[in-house]
Amino acid sequence: MRAAKHTLKGKKRGIYVPEGMITAMVTPFDGAGELDEKALRKLAEWQIGAGVDGLMIPGGCGEFVNLTDAERLKAVEIAVSQTAGRVPVIAGVLAATTRHAAELCKRFEGAGASAALVLTPYYVNPSLDGLFRHFETVAQNTSLPILLYNNPGRTGIDLGTEILNRLADIPTIVGIKECQRDIGLVIERMHTVGDRISYLAGDDDLTIPMYSFGCRGDVGITNLIAPEPQVELWAALNRGDWATAVDIHINFIMPIFSAVLTKNHPAPMKRMMALAGHPMGDARLPLVAPGADQEAKIKATLKAIDRFLKPKT
Task: Name the residues annotated as catalytic.
Answer: 149, 177
Label residues 165-203 b or e (16+ Cβ within 10 Å = b).
eebbebebbbbbbbbbeeeeebeebbeebeebbbbbbbb
Is residue 176 within 8 Å of residue 205, measured between CB atoms? no
**Sign of the four-CA dihedral 231, 158, 142, 139:** positive
CA dist 120 and 93 (Å) reads: 10
* 213 CB-contact burial (10 Å; exposed 0-12 / middle 13-18 / buried 19+): middle
Three-class DSSP category at 148: strand
Is residue 18 within 8 Å of residue 103, measured between CB atoms? no
Q: What is the DSSP string of 9-44?
A: SGGGTTS----EEEEE----B-TTSSB-HHHHHHHH
Distances (CA, A) of 49 to 81, 84, 177, 216, 275: 15, 13, 24, 21, 21
Distances (CA, A) of 21 to 2, 28, 100, 170: 9, 21, 28, 25
Distances (CA, A) of 28 to 36, 191, 221: 5, 38, 14
Q: Please provide the size of the chain in residues.
A: 313
